[in-house]
Amino acid sequence: MSHLRFVVVDLETTGNSPQKGDRIIQASFVMVEDGKIMDQYTTFINPGFEIPVFIQELTGITNEMVTAAPSFIEVAPKFLQLLENAVFVAHNVPFDFTFLQDEFERVGFPAIHNDTVDTVELAKIMFPTADSYKLSDLTEHFEFPHDRPHQADSDAYVTAKLLLLMIEEMDALPVVTLEKLLNFSYHLKSDIFKLFQLKLAEKERKVEHLSADLEIYQGIALRKKQIKKREYSINPPFFPLEREEKKRLLQQLKDYEERDSQIRMMDLVNESFHLATHGVIEAGTGIGKTLAYLLPALYFSKEKKTTIMISTYTTVLQEQLLQKELKQLQTIIPFPFQVAVLKGRSHYIDLRKFEKSLHELGNYDTIMAKMQILVWLTQTVTGDVDELHLSSGGEHYWHQIKQKESYLNKSHLFREEKDFYRCSRLQAEEADVVITNHSLLVLDLCSEKQLLPPYEYVIIDEAHQFDRTVRDYIGLTFEEHYFKRIYQRLGLYEQNKLLFQCEKLLKKYGEKPNVPIYIVNEKMTQLGFECEELFIFAQAFLKKFSVTKGPASRIVQLRLTDQERKHRNWKQVQYTAERVFQMMKDIWMEMDDRLVRLKKHEKKCTVDDQLRIEQLFSAMKEWKELSESIRNILIQPNQDEVYWMEGDIRSLSNTFKIISQPIESGTFLKNRLYPNKTVIFTSATLTVNHSFQYFVQNIGLQGLSYKTDTFCSPYDYKEHCRLYIPNDVPEVNQVSLSEYVEVLANHLISIAEATKGRMLILFTSYEMLKNTYHLMNDSGMLEDFVLLAQGITSGSKYRLTKNFQKFEKAILFGTNSFWEGVDIRGEDLSCLVMVRLPFTSPNEPYLAAKTEQLQRVGKSSFFAYSLPQAVLRFKQGFGRLIRSADDRGIIIVFDRRIMTSSYGKMFLKSIPEVPIHHSSLDEMIVDIEKWL
């Protein structure tokens, strides 16, 4: 890089728009040459007016600091001198470069025309697996000293360090990777191609010594994969039964604290495995649940030479198990063990498709994703997309290159030993412990083909989610946009898509199908018209008879019962669906005939032809599944299923779907999971009022042999937590939504001021969340606070949570997914608010069907299902506050039913014992301020 001089620039400004009068208040320039930081120039700038309070808080730059500073016109000549003949580098170049350019023009200086390098853009390429590309997150990850974020001198300096690190990372890339990156880099937004040009020229002047862990295959650099074989010992280890033995083992762990409940849970898991008895274990927050089941599982696996399957709720939790707890255990367990993570096929890259896609450009997001993947392939041994940080456009590209079930034999461009999915399967077969997720576990139970390696013992973590996962995966969904996507993939003959390409291949290999193409094309044309009618009739039916999910809600739902299906308007839907199903069935048979004929020629097929055949097979597989969904949902419904239609009323054609789910999943599990398997269910929330009855019935364990136990959290809730229930808020059902929200917002403003923010507010209704947020935001009373709201403030649940933790005074508004899986420790969260008890709406289709089923056998649906479900959700919400032994904080429940109703005690009895204060807002505020 000796031919380039870089100037790394960072600006602090009063806002985002110089055209609207925003100005620079601090600028810093770091000079980089010959791979070193040579010098740095920083100055405050007087903007000519007071700095907004928010900017002062964010940057720490006050009005006093800029009072004696020069104006921009005074420092502009110095800035131009520094930038002369340099590459302009910034973390988000479009902002700093454009702002500086506008300022130069404003004071009469010429515009700057430097080449630019955006370190955000470059970081996405060089660090494709980073969690975030924010400067503060990257500097934290790489442990750069960054003591004053949002001040220009500190930000510019760490950006320069980041640039040098990324240039250094380029040295590790093979020439073949750099060549491909260079070809794509000409189409980026900043002039990164100059870096790749120079780095490639440097590498080509030397003989390349490829790293020992890399290989070049079909022009792509890959990290070598190696299947680690399972090790068996002549004398297998036995689980330490005595408490002192376990203590000696666990004391080797860093920061180990002895927990009686953790040791007792280990014994129960070990006993369940040895007696082949199912187990249901509630393990409170902080007992070390994961280690409590992993330790006995590893010993049992080695002793019996068998595989233990561990299923978590999400793929994120799979990675957490592997990277945290299992790495800890590897340091203390006195024998080697193999662990494998196994996910669904679509998580893995298909190298054939990726290699072929490199010959095309695509849009910006696609180009960026290809560059990220080229770098990632030199690092990954899994080929699992969850490692990657792709944009939404990049995720769309991933769908083109992900693994799908193969139709042809593996005589392809990439040999089997290079195939990531196959390698993950082989590694799983050699593993003592396989970590999978609920979705893949259920899919394996449903599938005719075995997706998981053979297993007899399984631990299901986050078990409170398992019943829902089973229902989702046994159920069916018929979506308009999904149908249109598959229909368009096949296309009409004249559209040159898969139908046309299939016919070309048949001619090429001299095959004549049973039904000529013009007949298939006519059926496809007619099918298009029939489907348009089907969606028009179905959506008209939904609009006419639906109920909204809440006041002014955008989502409408309609449960399809026998009564709805007898309506004359429904007959139009059903008759059209019958015609659509028959046409789809005919087309599938005619296309299947074509696939069978093409398969005969696979050995002489070119790579391109093989990929076309695979694409056609994949499309027709989805086609057949979709046609069966239409038959089972619209034509031949099952009495044991619940059916409903739903969509967003503002954009029905893009969101319309019809869903079916079994009313209960227990029978499926009794038939598919429990025979010949020992299953241990565990979660922090399985009991209601100290009873497992609700969970056991839902999961189909009644009548089978199983053991249950509850291991309470070791945290001192009495000392560290207080529960407040205001007695001066109206009953939510006795006033209008607007009245309730107004009272709620006023109370929350007072509480926020008393707690200094650090508040998570949980809602059961998005409508109420939105209205409360806007009232609080517009009140003008929380100007010092940052308000973050799900669905309003941009960002995922993870990003909102991270941002919440960054600000000293912050309030986070969440619904649905925020009731669980949010882990905010220490002083970052000191106040948790639950606006309503988390009951599901009685109009929700699944609940309505479950209610009818329970009523038919003489049970109260409220006490048998609705109440237990709400209690478990409440427990999940309660668990967001105290996440470690040192945490302390308050919980406020605004729903007075917890005190006034006969069932309210069940909520209170299901959580740890805490001091309860039932008082007015004024009394509550005094007590909160005193206690916090």
Please state the residue numbers annotated as binding site.
283-290
Are 174 and 192 in contact, with CB atoms under 8 Å apart? Answer: no
Q: Cite the beta strand spans of 655-796 per DSSP E.
A: 657-662, 678-683, 706-711, 721-726, 759-763, 786-789
Q: What is the DSSP letter of 247?
A: H
H helices, E strands: number in the chain: 39, 26
Count other C-beta atoms under 10 Å from residue 422's C-beta.
16
Residues 6 or more apart in contact with residue 683 via CB below 8 angstroms? 282, 283, 461, 462, 463, 464, 465
Cα–Cα distances in angstroms (integers) from residue 366 to residues 404, 593, 898, in the given order: 20, 35, 52
Q: Please tell me whether residue 359 adopts helix, strand or coil conformation.
A: coil
φ, ψ for residue 288 (rounded to 5)? Answer: 80, 50
CA gap 396, 360 in Å, rounded: 15
CA gap 876, 834 in Å, rounded: 11
Are 16 and 22 in contact, with CB atoms under 8 Å apart? Answer: yes
Across the beta sheet with 706-711, the strand order is 339-341, 433-437, 308-312, 457-460, 678-683, 278-283, 706-711
φ, ψ for residue 299 (rounded to 5)? Answer: -65, -45
Q: Please tell me whether residue 417 adopts helix, strand or coil conformation.
A: helix
CA gap 40, 37 in Å, rounded: 8
Count other C-beta atoms under 10 Å from residue 502's C-beta.
25
Q: Cite the beta strand spans of 305-432 per DSSP E.
A: 308-312, 339-341
- H or E stretch covering 111: none
Torsion angle in degrees (nearest 10) through CA of 168, 173, 179, 184: -70
Q: What is the DSSP letter of 816?
A: G
**Assigned token pair, 630:** 């239409």
Q: Which residue in the block uniquely carries the two structure tokens 């290079």?
A: 418
At 725, the amino acid letter reads: I
Angle at 774 between CA 771 and CA 778, to 5 degrees: 145
Count other C-beta atoms under 10 Å from residue 241's C-beta.
11
Extract the annotated binding site for ATP: 283-290
CA gap 195, 4 in Å, rounded: 9
Give bridge partners of residue 641 from the DSSP assignment: 662
Q: Please tell me whether residue 418 adopts helix, strand or coil conformation.
A: helix
What single string gives the DSSP state of each residue in 878-895? HTTT--STT--EEEEE--
Q: How many residues can be counted in the chain? A: 932
CA gap 254, 232 in Å, rounded: 28
Conformational region of residue 513, where left means phi above 0, alpha means psi within -120 to 50, and beta covers everything else: beta
Burial class (CB in 10 A: 0-12, 13-18, 19+), 516: exposed
CA gap 830, 93 in Å, rounded: 38
